[in-house]
Amino acid sequence: MLLNQGIGITGMGIVSSIGDNITTFTHSLQQGISGIQTKEAITKPPLSVTIAAEIRNFSFVEKLKNIPNVPEEKFKKAKRLGQRAPFVIQMTILAALQAWTQAKLFENTVASDRIGLVVAGQNSTQNYQYNLLSQFVDNPEYLSPRYALEFLETNQVGVLSELFEIEGEGVAVGGASATGNVGIIKGHQLLALGIVDVCLVVGVPADLSPLDIQGFINIGAMGGKTYNDQPSLACRPFDKKHEGFIYGQASTSVILENQKSADQRVVASLAKVSGYGYNLDKNSSANPNLTGEEKAMKTAMQNAEISTSDVNYINTHGSSSPLGDQTEAEAIFNIFKNHTDTVYLNATKGLTGHCLYTAGMVEIIATVIQMKHGFLHPNRNLKNPIHNELQFCGKVATKYTIQNALCNSFGFGGINTAIVLENID
């Protein structure tokens, strides 16, 4: 018997280019602020795309100090674990602490073996390795012994479980650009199977090396050609002038918890994760698949026991990739044909850039925020929509009550996911 009923979100955290906590991120969504700018540092070698939604002026310890309600002992432990760790570890520690404190897990505790940990991330040490390489070639002897821990994705599992004293199951999962949704889905499954009562799902930021960026340029996925000199205009999901994704960075975290545990701890759920669809379209390449995307959305709604008329908002994958946007718009139209006038669409990547492995979680968080605060964030660069029969949000935020939301995330390698969030207010 699966405990599919009543799995909710009781805490969230984010460090992104448009806000380093939920409050500032909310403000940026409301104002339609874009985090895409000319990159601070010139890469070595210099590359043709020089814009991204990066984390700027990052200081781990400063940001750590700004998280309220962290017990002194935990602050010290986080500092010790993070201070000399790679950027991506520092970023996830910060996001995870935000969610943990919001869910009051330091005060109203849960048995440590009933807490699970899903690290949604892949290839997170690419830039860290790239930066070590030139020194390594000359002096391999000086490589830090810590490297052997740090290049493993599961280092995140170790660090976060030590910090939060988690003793249930812990895994690192990947799903290309759908990694964030895959993480939420895997956490949901741990809860539904009754393996844990609480699950910390953490999204590891993409810290791309110049090698990776050039790879995305060469495969034709990355935008930033026409608008390289006007960064905030470069990410244009569903606009006729879209030309590929713009890279963004964000760490994310969500506490998933079953209703019984949340009730016992007297902690409010922010939204219910009521269903999901997850399928492969058996494709090793980068191109999207209409059938796979439709199937993910349909399965998610079936799983949540709702119909198309119950959904009044879709947080699209909308990556600003011409073929990707076109395929998703068609998939949505095919499913919502009869209700397109009551389903509003926006694309958070238009503001945050494409945060790759955490994009899905950034968008789940953005969806919960819009639900709680009763608004829809703008599509700031959508002038000429590629599809005229879908309801895209405009250039300013609007007041709106989301009932049920679909959150789409698709990834290279034929990975299709959709998650249904239900407004429980």
Partner 1 sequence: MSREEVYDIVQETIMDVIPDVEKEDIAIEKQLKDIGANSIDRMEIVTMSMRELNVKIPLMSFAGVNNIEGLVNVLHENVNN
Residues that bind partner 1 (CB under 8 A): 76, 79-80, 83-84, 139, 141-146, 149
Nearer to partner 1, 146 or 395 (CB): 146
Examine residue 378 and say whether the peptide bond preceding it is cis (omega within 30 degrees of 0).
Answer: no
In the bound complex, what is the minimum distance in angstroms from residue 58's beta carbon to partner 1?
17
Nearer to partner 1, 65 or 225 (CB): 65
Nearer to partner 1, 19 or 82 (CB): 82
Token code pair at residue 326: 């076109």
Nearer to partner 1, 135 or 264 (CB): 135
β pairing state of 170-173 and 115-120: parallel
In the bound complex, what is the minimum distance in angstroms from residue 72's beta carbon to partner 1?
13
In the bound complex, what is the minimum distance in angstroms from residue 233's beta carbon to partner 1?
42
Give the whole-angstrom CA distance, residue 119 versus residue 205. 11
In the bound complex, what is the minimum distance in angstroms from residue 84's beta carbon to partner 1?
7
Backbone phi, psi, residue 328, to 5°: -65, -40
**b/e map of 101-116 (b: 16 or more CB within 10 Å)?**
bbbbbeeeebeeebbb
Nearer to partner 1, 36 or 85 (CB): 85
Token code pair at residue 83: 């201070």
Which of 77, 113, 22, 21 lies closest to 372 in space, CA to CA?
22
Asked if residues 17 and 353 have their Cβ atoms less than 8 Å apart, the reply is yes
Nearer to partner 1, 57 or 142 (CB): 142
Give the chain's largest Cα–Cα span.
66
In the bound complex, what is the minimum distance in angstroms from residue 141's beta carbon to partner 1?
5
In the bound complex, what is the minimum distance in angstroms from residue 29's beta carbon to partner 1?
35
Beta strands in 41-114 (DSSP E): 51-52
Asked if residues 345 and 239 have their Cβ atoms less than 8 Å apart, the reply is no
